[in-house]
Amino acid sequence: MTGQLLRGLLDDASLFPPARLAMPAAVAAHRRHLTAWYSPLCGPFVCPETRLADLHTSLTTANCPAIEISLVVTGGADAVPAALDAVAADPRLRLRAVEVPAAKDGDLTDAVAAVVEALDSVPLAAAAGYVEIPLRALADGPTAAELLAIVDSHGYRPKLRTGGVSADAFPDEMTLAHCLTAVIDRRTPFKCTAGLHHAVRHTAADTGFEHHGFLNVLLAVACAARGANIEDVADLLAQRDAATVAARIARLDDDAIDDGRYLFISFGTCSTDEPVADLVALGLLNPSAKEVADGTAQGGALAWDT
């Protein structure tokens, strides 16, 4: 495989549960990731609009000249203009993406359209716009087609929530398979958030929650893009044997990797260290021999399996 498979896959959502890092610690950790040997995997720092003042203070204290952010507008469509104004007011904030949830109350079509209208009303420049759509809607074919048409006709992308702080926030394999095939059938790029703490499908020891694996999702997307049916996609999401998942990932050819990553842009993770550790343990990611020997693992070349 090539570095393209994992490049920019990990959005740093360490401010969010379950990590909930304090802002100074989150900024410090993010800067560490960006200078580490695995830095090509790292995406932007994910920050809610309610924490921008806190981020401003932490950047000043840390003497940090700039940071790339993905802005989560927790206040929904109505809060988008003010949130973008707050970003523009701090030249150190480099906007990579804006993520906005559609309102859960009322008509969902109207809610998605309201987010799209709000994103249309602000200067995004090169930043991507994401609309979070409930998975129950994306799992229904006709509903998904209607909502995705609204989103991608304006050049925006859906955001899929794959977990949370309660068991019912984690979709089962078939529900997620329907959601993935809905976006893949339209060739619509998307991101995921929450719950993808580890590479492979597992049951969390502390909570008993059933977590999807980010490699399972990546593999399922790559295969669905090549015509895998819904049952096969669900089976890939359900696979719990790490060696099997790693072997299937390693066998993906360049075209499958390109398809998979064109569609599956990234996922928000509250811990960058855990996904990196999983990838190293599976033999899919390796620091250079010198870094292993001297124990630094900082600033060296990324050594990919080929």
Contact in structure between 219 and 245 (CB atoms under 8 Å): yes
Whether this model's pTM surpasses 0.85? yes
Query: Is 69 domain-assigned?
Result: yes
In this predicted structure, what is the pLDDT of residue 198?
96
CA 70, 25, 3: angle at the middle one, nearest 5?
Answer: 50
Diameter of the chain measured on Cα atoms = 58
Q: What is the pLDDT of residues 236-270, one digit of tens each?
A: 999 999 999 999 999 999 999 999 999 999 999 99
In this predicted structure, what is the pLDDT of residue 3?
76
Query: Is 129 domain-assigned?
Result: yes
In this predicted structure, what is the pLDDT of residue 185?
96
Beta partners for residue 193, in sequence order: 161, 268
CA 15, 147, 256: angle at the middle one, nearest 5?
Answer: 70
In this predicted structure, what is the pLDDT of residue 287?
81
d(CA 268, CA 196): 8
What residues in the chain have per-residue pLDDT under 70?
A: 1-2, 288-306
Query: Is 305 domain-assigned?
Result: no
Query: Is 292 domain-assigned?
Result: no
Query: Is 291 domain-assigned?
Result: no
Indicate which CATH number applies to the domain containing 215: 3.20.20.70
Q: What is the pLDDT of residues 74-87, one digit of tens each?
A: 999 999 999 999 99
d(CA 229, CA 242): 22
Query: Is 294 domain-assigned?
Result: no
Query: Is 257 domain-assigned?
Result: yes
Domain count, the chain: 1
Cα 265 to chain centroid distance, Å, stands at 7
In this predicted structure, what is the pLDDT of residue 305?
37
User: What residues make up the domain containing 168?
Assistant: 3-286
In this predicted structure, what is the pLDDT of residue 302?
35
Q: Nearest Cα to 273, choosing from 24, 29, 57, 3?
A: 29
Q: What is the pLDDT of residues 168-198, one digit of tens each?
A: 999 999 999 999 999 999 999 999 999 999 9
Query: Is 123 domain-assigned?
Result: yes
